[in-house]
Amino acid sequence: MLAIISDIHANLEALDATFAAGMKLGVDEWICLGDVVGYGANPNECVERVAALCSVVLFGNHDEAAIGGMDLSWFNPWAAEAAQWTIGALTPDSRKFLSERPYRHETGLATFVHSTPVAPEEWNYVLRQSDARAQATGFATPFCFVGHSHCPGVFPVDPVEATSEPRHLINVGSVGQPRDGDPRACMVVLTEAQDSEPDIRLVRLKYDVEAAQRKIIEAGLPEMLARRLEVGA
């Protein structure tokens, strides 16, 4: 059983709850689509966790910002302040790990990226069906899993050939900062069966939101980043 997670954003409470729930479900492989850091108060601890448990960890835009590789003027003021704080908080080991992450991973079943399969390094978003259709040429696998928007969703796209089945682009949501009005952490669990289509489920998980909020405030990060966790916005 494979679990796909994204957008942890240094929220250790959400990440630990997600890993614990996945283990109970029988998850034996984890893939992280990136944005391990940014916004939250535990960047190094979250890097350590995903480095230890995930077979694949991809590069996200907040990971790029945290290693000094992005112009922070692209971010809103709260995100930019959090990125600047994260730059100062990262250990050399965490910075090295993030700097070595790839943009893309592919298996026979699925393509995995943080943002979009077409030009993943440009950090574009899939927010609606038209966005997904524009990404159809970026992958040839039956499924493509993305994060970045923090909003889970399933988008059908055109088949590769006229005789094949429609493919699907699936946003796995966010572990550490959901933005779909549901404050619970989010992951996707995929189970492959030999004689049938894979079973793909979205799983929502409660975690200690107050502890994550308290850490953000105590770290001196913008209070808005703490408030948004309780409403999933």
At 16-30, the pLDDT tens digits run 999 999 999 999 999
Q: What's the pLDDT score for residue 232?
A: 95
Cβ distance 38 to 227 under 8 Å? no
What range defines the domain where residue 172 resides?
A: 2-230
Q: What's the pLDDT score for residue 166?
A: 81
At 61-73, the pLDDT tens digits run 999 999 999 889 8
Q: What's the pLDDT score for residue 196?
A: 74
Q: Is 133 left (phi over 0), alpha (psi -120 to 50) or beta?
A: alpha
At 137-154, the pLDDT tens digits run 999 999 999 999 999 999
Whether 60 has a pLDDT exceeding 60, the answer reads yes
Beta strands (DSSP E) in the chain are 2-5, 29-32, 56-57, 104-106, 110-113, 143-146, 153-157, 167-171, 185-193, 196-205
Q: What's the pLDDT score for residue 193?
A: 77
CA distance 37 to 110: 25
DSSP state of 166: P
At 86-135, the pLDDT tens digits run 999 999 999 999 999 999 999 999 999 999 999 999 999 999 999 999 99
Whether 162 has a pLDDT exceeding 70, the answer reads no
Percent of the chain whose pLDDT exceeds 90: 90
Q: Is the dihedral of CA 233, 103, 39, 97 positive or negative?
A: positive
Average pLDDT of the residues in 43-68: 97
Q: What's the pLDDT score for residue 148?
A: 97
Whether 79 has a pLDDT exceeding 70, the answer reads yes
Determine if the pTM surpasses 0.85. Answer: yes
Average pLDDT of the residues in 4-19: 98
Number of structural domains in the chain? 1
CATH code, domain carrying 218: 3.60.21.10
Whether 163 has a pLDDT exceeding 80, the answer reads no
CA distance 19 to 187: 10
Output the average pLDDT for the chain. Answer: 95
